[in-house]
Structure 1
Amino acid sequence: MSFARKHFQKHSAISAAKTAAEFGSMQDLSFYELHLAQLNNDRHRLKQIQSTEAKVQLKTNLLPNYLPYVDGILEANKSVQDEVFMTILVWCMDVGDYSKALEMAEFALLHNMAMPDRFERKTATLVTEEIANAFLKQLKTNADVDIDVLLHLEKLVIRGDVDAQLLDMPDQVKAKLFVALGKAKIKLITNKDEPSESDLAYAKDALAYLERAVELDDRCGGKQDHKTMETLLKKFGDQTVS
């Protein structure tokens, strides 16, 4: 997409959002309807594909067509329900663009934007569960894990300055996030036999996250790691942990 086209789409989205804010909905606005029609066409294309990998690749290719619109909505900073915006939020998570997804999720929560009915879960629940599940899967491999994404998510949905009702979610979902955080902290430990002060600090953080996870969901899958960290800290507990 050319720079001029991106510029046009972004500023058209800003204008549409500002106009819609007067009525509380993006419905019946031609620019929004144009993107919604394109989204429905692209969703139809995705439904024809059975391979999850192929769907992710198609979404990766399609996303640049929508991001200028998304940036326009973000810049307009209006509380308007928007199916296009919320669907692209999910697509960003699907393709692993968590930075953009969390930027959009924070905006959606601050403006009380609901997920389209087909997603069934509330915004905070869906975002937390999808990202936590993705990281729990990744943590089973030797791949590097960007713990900052999980910390950003924790700040948003656990300690965020958002209406508590909007952050309400099943304890099991919240536990998944804490397990992912605990395991991610463990992954940062470089030597469990002769842990450094940093290693022990990571272990202490991991233990706290896993303890909270087990409190929320006894079947969260964090018990063994919790026991391991507890043992590690008891063994080397006389070392200073800042």
Structure 2
Amino acid sequence: MNLARQHFQKHSAKAAALSAAEFGTMQSQTAYEMQLMQLNQDRHRLRQIQSTEAKIKLKQGLVPTYLPYADGIMEANTGVQDEVFMTVLVWCIDTENYSKALEMAEFALRHNMIMPDRFERKTAVLVTEEIANAFLKVLKTNAAVDISVLQQLDSLVTPSDEEDPDIDPKVLDMPDQVKAKLFVALGKANIKLIQSTEQPSEQDLESAKSAQGYLSRAIELDDKCGGKQDLKTVETLLKKFTPPEPVQTNAGDSSPT
């Protein structure tokens, strides 16, 4: 898609969202209807494919054609329910475009946008579970992982002590088992950051402590989360990393004769 086409698509989406805000629906908005028609055609193409790997490859080619539309919707900042936007959000996760997925997810959660019925999960649940599952799969291999994605997701879906006025806490409600998956992934990813088991750096010690905290919390939320062995591993490392305190003796003590 050339730059002129991208600009037109983004501008049209923004204009459609602003117009739709008056009526509370994207229906009958030309830009939306055109994108929805294209989306339905692309979903039909995907249904003809049985291989998950092949589906992801096709989505990798399709997603960029929808991103100008998604950017226009976010720039309008109206938050009108939009099936195209929410579907592209899911496809961004499927194709590991996590930076765009999290940007879109934050927008969707802020405006309480819901997933189309076929996804059968709340927005926060789907985003958390799908990203956590993807990382847990990669963490079983020797491949590198970008822990910042998990950290950003944690920051998005785990309310801090100070309430975020932009996102209703009810929107972030999810089963404990789903949140536990995210914490197990964060624990495992922190363990992966530990470079040395003999002469640890400050960063190694910090990663081990973070892993311990995440895994302990995951087990509290879901006793069957699969993080118990990892917690034992990191607690063993922490004992090795932390030097024993020197034994104090009284200055006047002497050995018995």
Task: Name the TM-score class by shorter chain.
Answer: over 0.9
Aligned residues: 240
Is 1:93 the equivalent of 2:98?
no
Question: In structure 2, what is the equivalent of residue 11 of structure 1?
Answer: 11
CA contact (8 A) 1:18 1:78 kept: yes
Is 1:146 the equivalent of 2:151?
no
Partner of 2:40, secondary structure, is helix
Q: Hey, what's the Cα distance between the residues in 2 that align with 1:9 and 1:69? A: 6
Is 1:102 the equivalent of 2:102?
yes
Please list, as runs of the form range in 1=range in 2, the aligned pairs for 1:173-184 lying within 5 A after superposition. Answer: 173-184=178-189
Question: In structure 1, what is the equivalent of residue 130 of structure 2?
Answer: 130
Please say which structure displays the higher CA radius of gyration. Answer: 2
| The one of 219, 229, 242 aligned to 1:237 | 242
Query: What is the one-letter code of the residue matched to 2:82?
Result: D
Please list, as runs of the form range in 1=range in 2, the aligned pairs for 1:1-242 lying within 5 A after superposition. Answer: 1-159=1-159, 161=164, 162-238=167-243
Query: What is the one-letter code of the residue matched to 2:226?
Result: G
CA contact (8 A) 2:159 2:169 kept: no
Deviates more, 1:230-239 or 1:197-206: 230-239
Q: Hey, what's the Cα distance between the residues in 2 that align with 1:104 and 1:239? A: 48
Q: Hey, what's the Cα distance between the residues in 2 that align with 1:170 and 1:43? A: 29
Give the gaps of 5 or more residues in structure 1: none
Q: CA RMSD in A?
A: 1.3
CA contact (8 A) 1:27 1:33 kept: yes
Q: TM-score, normalised by structure 1?
A: 0.97
Q: Hey, what's the Cα distance between the residues in 2 that align with 1:207 and 1:110? A: 31
Any idea what the Cα deviations from partners look like across 1:14-63, whole Å, max 9, x if unmatched?
A: 00000001111101111111110110010000000001111001111111
Query: What is the one-letter code of the residue matched to 1:170?
Result: P
Query: What is the one-letter code of the residue matched to 2:48?
Result: Q
CA contact (8 A) 1:197 1:239 kept: no
Q: Hey, what's the Cα distance between the residues in 2 that align with 1:136 and 1:167? A: 21
Partner of 1:225, secondary structure, is helix
Q: TM-score, normalised by structure 2?
A: 0.91
C-alpha displacement of 1:65: 1.5
Partner of 1:66, secondary structure, is helix
After superposition, the Cα gap between the structure-2 partners of 1:239 and 1:43, relative to the gap in structure 1 and judged at 3 Å, is farther
Q: Hey, what's the Cα distance between the residues in 1 that align with 2:21 and 2:243? A: 59
CA contact (8 A) 1:190 1:199 kept: yes
Query: What is the one-letter code of the residue matched to 1:184?
Result: A
